Amino acid sequence: MQRKKTILAAMAAGAALVLSGCAGGGNSGAAADVTAEPEFSGKLSILTKFAGEPLGPYFEELAAAYQKQYPDVEFELIQETDQSVKDKTKTLTASGALPDIYFTWTGTWAQNFVDGGLAADLTEVIAPGTEWGDTFGKASLDAFKYGDKYYGIPLYNNGKFMGYNKDAFAKAGIQVPKTFEELIGSCGPLRDAGYEPIAFGNKDGWPGLHYLQQLFAYNVPSDTLNADFDPQTAKWDDPGYVKSLKQFSRLVNECTDSGKGTNGVLYTTAQEALAGGRAAMYYQEILEFDQLTSGETLAPESFGIFKLPVPEGAEGDPGAVEGSPEGYLINAKSPRAALAIDFMKFVTNPENAKTLSSPPYGQPSTVIDAVTEETSSAAVYDGIRQVNEASQLVTWLDTVTVPEVADAWLAGGEALISGDSSPEEVIKSVQKANEMAR
């Protein structure tokens, strides 16, 4: 699940739609009754982030199974990719056609819908202590908690790791690096062995921010980092930021074949480079693990993962992992909210949660006991283990910050890669954006 460019304009439009009483769901503005008995008829519309193979069939098959139980229920599935879902969300929000159920990331992204009155308050049905809520890990539920209320249905957990080809490492005669400096040092031997050391595509902007946020967690003290996510307390002046930007620039220039040209490379091209045996490493989310090993080249037993190594002398949290659960919101204006909740209970029942966590999907469910050594691939199981053991999860940089600051980081990351801005200039642009957001 990769993080997207912000939808500030869409959120503003959504807020305006709420005020005029025409925000999605087809009713006149009455708040959704999430505790009502569902009427098993009518059409449910769902915006997913599961387009394409191998993910596409998951919601399709669940919808078909639900229809067998309730033949009078119809479905409209709007299936988007990790990159296209942001534009579809923007379009649907601005046109007042937000579906009954729709995908969301955590952080500011989800909060925009909450603040705009577009997300139903699910506290009475999914908060810890409720029958449904107790089937999820509490941390996953808390990721969608705003104030003292719960709004999201966490579908799967996620974290960021360096995936690598064990055979490439063996051919180059190297071990898994223990420090960031060792990671950079491994790139020469891997290139000599015939591989692109690290596949990287930053055309969409957010892949670079994933590297930066993990490095920020390592190089910036946690209290300072968390304070900088809020424009009212942010300064963005810790020296760890410039240090991280320089480390990232070094990785791009020394370990990728495209170097300054990575802004023109799709992240899916980088995926394919590792899956096809051309690259030795690719920085990826747990959600991608099983997709990379579903082809004929990179076998599951040849695929390994490790955390982005901690730089020497880092003054932040070495135990932090970048990641966050992802999930779904219920349209606050939907007349079918009760039916939407019943369907999502079906989606997250133990059987379907285990299916989601297993190959070929490999999306580690937030439902307790859904991810096991028996149900999930070795890499997915190991990734979730490390997420659960992390000292903290640091949310994606472009969803945890406000839109103005997120956009500044996206532009700054791209400018750093292209050589159009120095680390110091990037920081100044972020500080300026933060001032404007106050």
Tokens (6 digits) for 34? 């999430």
Number of neighbours of residue 42 by Cβ within 10 angstroms: 14
The string of DSSP codes covering 289-303 is: HHHHTSSSSS-GGGE
> Strand, coil or helix: what is 223?
helix
Tokens (6 digits) for 303? 């695929």
Rounded Cα distance, 172 and 273, in Å:
17
Rounded Cα distance, 339 and 36, in Å:
9
Give the CA distances from residue 133 to residues 150, 343, 430, in Å, rounded to whole numbers and listed in that order.
Answer: 10, 15, 38
Per-residue confidence (pLDDT) for residue 30, from 0 to 100: 58
Per-residue confidence (pLDDT) for residue 26, from 0 to 100: 41
Rounded Cα distance, 199 and 252, in Å:
10
User: Residue 274: in which H helix or E strand, if any?
Assistant: helix 267-275
Per-residue confidence (pLDDT) for residue 2, from 0 to 100: 42
What are the structural domains, with CATH classification, of the chain? 8-158+324-370 (3.40.190.10), 160-322+396-437 (3.40.190.10)
Per-residue confidence (pLDDT) for residue 32, from 0 to 100: 80
Write down the pTM of the prediction.
Answer: 0.86
Tokens (6 digits) for 180? 């960031």
Q: Is 167 exposed, middle or buried (0-12, 13-18, 19+ CB in 10 A)?
A: middle
Per-residue confidence (pLDDT) for residue 83, from 0 to 100: 78
Rounded Cα distance, 219 and 216, in Å:
5
**Core vs surface per residue 47-75: b (16+ CB within 10 A) or e:** bbbbbeeebeebbeebbeebeeebeebeb
> Across-strand partners of 392?
320
| Eight-state DSSP code of residue 5 | -
Per-residue confidence (pLDDT) for residue 28, from 0 to 100: 38
Rounded Cα distance, 101 and 331, in Å:
6
Per-residue confidence (pLDDT) for residue 295, from 0 to 100: 84
- Token pair 């695929």: residue: 303
Tell me which residue of 274, 416, 299 sits closest to 428, measured CA to CA.
Answer: 416
User: Residue 330: in which H helix or E strand, if any?
Assistant: strand 326-330
pLDDT in tens, the chain (438 residues): 444 444 444 443 343 333 333 344 443 345 788 999 999 999 999 999 999 989 999 999 999 999 999 999 999 999 999 879 988 998 999 999 999 999 999 988 999 999 999 999 999 999 999 999 999 999 899 999 999 999 999 999 999 999 999 999 999 999 999 999 999 999 999 999 999 999 999 999 999 999 999 999 999 999 999 999 999 999 999 999 999 999 999 999 999 999 999 999 999 999 999 999 999 999 999 999 999 998 889 999 999 999 999 999 999 999 999 999 999 999 999 999 999 999 999 999 999 999 999 999 999 999 999 999 999 999 999 999 999 899 999 999 988 999 899 999 999 999 999 999 999 999 999 999 999 999
Rounded Cα distance, 184 and 179, in Å:
9
Cis peptide before 57 (omega within 30 of 0): no
- In sequence order, what are the residues at sequence separation of 6 or more whose Cβ sits closer than 8 angstroms to the Cβ of residue 115? 15
The amino acid present at 47, given as its one-letter code, is L
Per-residue confidence (pLDDT) for residue 203, from 0 to 100: 95
